[in-house]
Amino acid sequence: HVSSICHIYSHAHTPSFIHTVSYDGTVRGLDLNAQAFISRFEAPESQDDMWFTDACEFQEPSTNPFSSSSSGSGSAATSSSENMLFVSRSDGFVSLIDFRKGSKGSSGYAWSADMGYKVQSVQHWPTSSNHILTANAGKGTSAGDYAGLIRVWDIRMMIKSNSNSSANQSKA
């Protein structure tokens, strides 16, 4: 990476493979067995235009709304959870990276949505694969700047509209 790391994670069934997500718009994997880093994703946007602010692993893939072939089988669940990652971006978007679609270019984003504000953090809801949580960035010093505002989004609605609609969010 050429910038700081904003998220690091590993999966229980592959603990010797560690993912790192950087502000520079890249995701790398460290294979501890091979003692090598592998480039998993490079954002198509310039680092001058946006940077990753946070990331979280896709959870509960057996009910994956992004896949028409969600079978709920163990092998499909393992494949999806290891290959999909939500990233929050400084330009106000949340994107889903699907590592199976390539490591560079817009085809690497399976889905993106404009949240309408600079997103500081994203989390996949732990009990429902259909919801994400976002927290906005801001200082809270001006009207309309809701520092620390947390929102719950139904991604099924966001996929249908692919836009920021107030019907798709709940404010906390």
The share of the chain scoring above pLDDT 90, in percent, equals: 14
CA dihedral 171, 21, 102, 107 (to 10 degrees): 30
pTM above 0.75, yes or no: no
CA–CA distance, 125 with 132 (Å, rounded to integer): 5
How do residues 103-156 score in pLDDT, each as one tens digit?
A: 554 456 888 888 888 888 898 887 788 899 898 876 655 555 566 788 888 988
Cβ-Cβ contacts under 8 Å for 2 (sequence gap 6 or more): 22, 24, 47
What pLDDT, on the 0 to 100 scale, is given for residue 80?
61
CA–CA distance, 73 with 63 (Å, rounded to integer): 11
Q: Is 122 helix (H, G, I), strand (E, B) or coil?
A: strand
What pLDDT, on the 0 to 100 scale, is given for residue 144?
59
What pLDDT, on the 0 to 100 scale, is given for residue 137?
76
What pLDDT, on the 0 to 100 scale, is given for residue 60?
60
